[in-house]
Structure 1
Amino acid sequence: MKEVTLLIGHGSRDDDGNQEFLAFVQEIRRRSPEQHFEACFLELTTPTIPDGFDACIRQNADRIVVVPVILLAASHVKLEIPEFLDTARRQYPDVEIVYGRNIGLHEQMIDLLTDRFYEQAAMYTQEEIQQTAIVLMGRGSSDSDANGDLYKMARQLWERTGVFTVEVCFTGITFPRLPDGIQRAISLGAQRVVVVPYFLFTGVLIKRMQGVLQDVKSIHKNLPMSMAGYFGVHQRLIEIVLERREEALRGQAFMNCDLCKYRKNASHEHSHNHEHHHAHDHSHSHG
């Protein structure tokens, strides 16, 4: 049996971010030379998901394992990608198509966030760390469940690091935004602030937020502030993606919305009605 893994990146208007995703896939190929990997993007750039399936078929794949290299499960992961899978199954009825989990709430993601924080706080004493706020910055979603996952990680990050506080903010779609998150940390009495992005790769948003941070710094000149690195081509991330692939093959991709009966009811009204996301979100297990 010829098996190909299709890795789906989000896609960005900023080509630097797209190139970083492709470099990430290249590194996975280097790590697992016995496996076959194809790369595609959900939106904003090419190759598209249908292009990705075509590339797998050109390699004579009998089985395609689809792994979304996407952090939190909002409508992209729950609704849009499964619809592409449905279309591909109709188009290639003889090919087995397996849907793996997105990166999600993985223990190693807390390790990775902690690593990124300590890269910024390497020179801090223990006492200074206890006076430091982490502002954990996510993309933001219209899916309350995905936003809630970031708050869950904030709590775990606080327990892991022992910082003064971990505040959550988002770059768009929902609130609080980055200046609000920093202001909240300062109001509580933090002596220094480290913004830790919950972002895979660079892009429009990361670059914009670096500018926003400079603006906030100019207001609070005496309070040390820095932004940690996003994840990029990191060993831990590679391990998680390969683990998600293995899970899918073992039939253990518990958040497999591909099989979710609620999605079937929801998808036909997807374009008309935004509310069904909530019905879908709260109605099945996230494993």
Structure 2
Amino acid sequence: MTPRMRWLLVAAALVVGVGAALAAGGGLAPTRSAPLETFQRTGDPRKIVVHVVVGLDDELAGSSTVEDARTVAVTVRVRPPAGRLFGPPVFRSLVGISLPVVVGLRDPIGDRTVVDAASGRAVAEAGIFQIPREPPVDLAEIGTVEKGSFRSGDGVDFRWREFTGKTRALSDFRGRTVVIVSRTSFSGESKMSVQAVEEFLRTAAPEARARVVVLVATLAEDPLRAMIIRPSPSTFPLLVPSDYVGADAPEIFRLSAVPVVWFVGPEGAVREHISGVPASPDDIARGVAAAR
């Protein structure tokens, strides 16, 4: 093949690739299976943590399992951000990271072998998983706020849809105090507010923790960057879509207002709020006391 022919083939491939990207630009990019590196057991026999290799800009698209008496075949699917013109998977895979992902099982893991469903390869076990400072992504725990669902009449309210398809609403927690923290991965001050809530939950009396629900709203980012905090079972990580964080959004979802903490009383009214400055554990304790 002559050099001229090789260049013509390369040019044709680029035209086809760009055309396909333009055609798909308005919707979700196709998914692919992420390779599994290792897995770890957790304190729950029906949950394991698998470590998968993903590209730096990939988004999680879901996970699934096929189980039998001897094996658990796991698939974790990822996709590039929608509308990307360049950067097919072959390029993004050159700069990859290892991501821990929680996978729920139908039956306890027992002594079964974990298998990468795409390759059929057995996945090595890496010991018991210890929850780090920033825990793994558990897609089932993440809810996406529904744009336009915010109401502020007889108490504030909004809805979110979890990855499993279940819909929840702020009003589901009437009768309890709700702390809502908005944050982004690039705001150090909002991280301080989240850490203040974590410290409050860690040090508060059990009966005080039982009365509090915490919603951590991550603004305009993908599920890999959702903040999941673990000190209390009554914590819910939320994603707020990028088209719902502008100047016309409610303060708690407004990107320009971060960091924001709202304290919603049992009847649904916002009793206290902290805006524009990071909150301390004492601020959180005072806000909870004022709202209950």
Q: Do the structures match in fold with TM over 0.5?
A: no
TM-score by length of 2: 0.22
Name the larger-Rg structure.
2
Larger strand fraction of residues: 2
Larger helix fraction of residues: 1
The higher relative CO (CA closer than 8 Å, separation ≥ 6) is in: 1
